[in-house]
């Protein structure tokens, strides 16, 4: 079953432009091949404040997402040291 991708507004305006082009291409390929086909197979569930959300590892970068029916909602794409606090801030708004 193919999944439809839905991006948080700040992912497109802040996260993606701040990543260099090579990494951006690599992350885009990972999202297109893994999250649109089997997000739970390739992702890992998160714990604590982000319980119910998942992460996809792409090198040192993480894609934080949630699966809702046939959609994958992407809430953050950033380096592993900052992605989780960024997503928690976005979810609190």
Q: How does pLDDT run across 67-87, given as a tens digit for each residue?
A: 999 999 999 999 999 999 999
Residue 50: Cβ within 10 Å count:
18
Structural domain of 83: 4-92
d(CA 36, CA 46): 19
Helix (H, G, I), strand (E, B) or coil at 2: coil
CATH number at residue 33: 3.30.2310.20
Q: What is the pTM of this model?
A: 0.94
C-alpha triplet 6, 10, 16: angle, nearest 5°: 85
CA dist 73 → 22, 23, 76 (Å)? 23, 20, 9
Which tens digits make up the pLDDT trace of 6-61?
Answer: 999 999 999 999 999 999 999 999 999 999 999 999 999 999 999 999 999 999 99
> How many domains would you assign to the chain?
1
């Amino acid at each position: 079953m193919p999944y439809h991708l839905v991006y948080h507004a700040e992912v497109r305006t802040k996260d993606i432009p701040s990543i260099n082009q090579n990494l951006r291409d690599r992350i885009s390929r990972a999202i297109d091949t893994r999250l649109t086909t089997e997000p739970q197979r390739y992702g890992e569930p998160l714990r604590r404040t982000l319980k119910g959300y998942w992460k996809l590892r792409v090198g040192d970068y993480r894609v934080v997402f949630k699966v809702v029916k046939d959609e994958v909602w992407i809430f953050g794409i950033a380096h592993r040291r900052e992605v989780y606090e960024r997503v928690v801030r976005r979810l609190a708004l």
